Amino acid sequence: MSASEFLLWELRRRREAEGLSQDEWGSRVYFSPQHVSAVERGTRPAKADYLGAVDKEFGTSLAVFYETFVKNELAPAWLRPWLEYEEKAVALRLYGTLVIPGLFQTERYARMVLSSGPLQPDEVERSVQLRMSRQSILDRKDPPQFSCLVEELTLRRGESDVLPEQLRHLVALAERPNITIQVIPVDAPAHLGWGGPLELASFIDGEDVGYLDNHLEGQTVTSPNQIATLGTVWDSVGAVALPARQSLNLIKEVANSWS
């Protein structure tokens, strides 16, 4: 039995040991019975907020179990070094060429994006679960400072029943004091970001680490020369982006156009 399978088994076992139906369990942890059922079936990720609510109500330590065992199991070996950097960073710079960066994706948007590739359905769900779990850094007591650059075309590409929710989520994030989102308009001049998405993590000692994604596997970058190059790419993209307030207004405008 894998760690993720054990977690789902333990959630079901604990509920049944308490003599509670899914409706009753949901009422105790303030989640809908549909949510409880989906988590127990493995069709919806067991996110930190759900596990934390279970721990608080029933005195379990499932959130700790998830962070210690399940999260690493879900992540491929090549991604794990970056996840450690991501969690410890004091600032993160994110740029996505064709999609919203993963840390800012809604669950449905992430599933839409991941389902468009070569992954099998079970692999898609594991990837969605991992992506959602990584977003716990957004809501911790000392979240990093985020700077995010997105292409305007990204705001207009996607399924009509998924994208409006994603855009509203972006608006909510952009209104947080530690998050800046800037949009590169469709009529912006050429920039170095066309070479692909990137992420840069900064640390309290002044060190930066980068991450590049591709169709096969991502690459964690630590070489000072390569980091300097990625910094140049970031600056090139940022130079043609709209200011934060104007970007927020554009996101709202596009979100409303999908209504």
Locate the domains of the chain by residue range.
3-72, 76-257
Nearest to 133 by CA among 47, 7, 4, 11: 47
57-61, long-range: CB < 8 A, 24+ apart: 57/28, 57/29, 58/14, 58/18, 58/28, 60/14
Q: Which single residue is written with the structure tokens 């007591």?
A: 141
Type of residue found at 139:
D
Task: Render each residue's pLDDT in the chain as its tens digit; 259 residues.
Answer: 678 788 889 999 999 999 999 999 999 999 999 999 988 887 777 878 899 999 999 999 999 888 888 777 777 878 888 998 999 999 999 998 889 999 999 999 999 999 887 778 878 888 898 899 899 899 888 999 999 999 999 999 989 999 999 999 999 999 999 999 999 999 999 899 888 999 999 999 889 999 998 777 789 999 999 999 999 999 999 999 999 999 999 999 999 987 7
Rounded Cα distance, 61 and 47, in Å: 14
Rounded Cα distance, 237 and 204, in Å: 24
pLDDT in the model for residue 120: 80
DSSP per position, 188-214: PPP-GGGG--EEEEE-TTS-EEEEE--
* Domain 76-257 classification at class level: alpha beta
pLDDT in the model for residue 99: 93
DSSP state of 76: -
Which pTM was predicted?
Answer: 0.78
Other beta carbons within 10 angstroms of residue 205's beta carbon come to 6
Radius of gyration, alpha carbons of the chain = 19
17 CB-near residues (< 8 Å, 6+ apart):
none
Backbone angles phi, psi at 105, to 5 degrees: -85, 145
131 CB-near residues (< 8 Å, 6+ apart):
102, 105, 110, 114
Architecture of domain 3-72: Orthogonal Bundle (1.10)
Task: Evaluate whether 107 touches 132 at the Cβ level (below 8 Å).
Answer: yes
For 156, what's the count of Cα atoms within 13 Å in the CB-facing half-sphere?
11
pLDDT in the model for residue 1: 64
pLDDT in the model for residue 165: 96
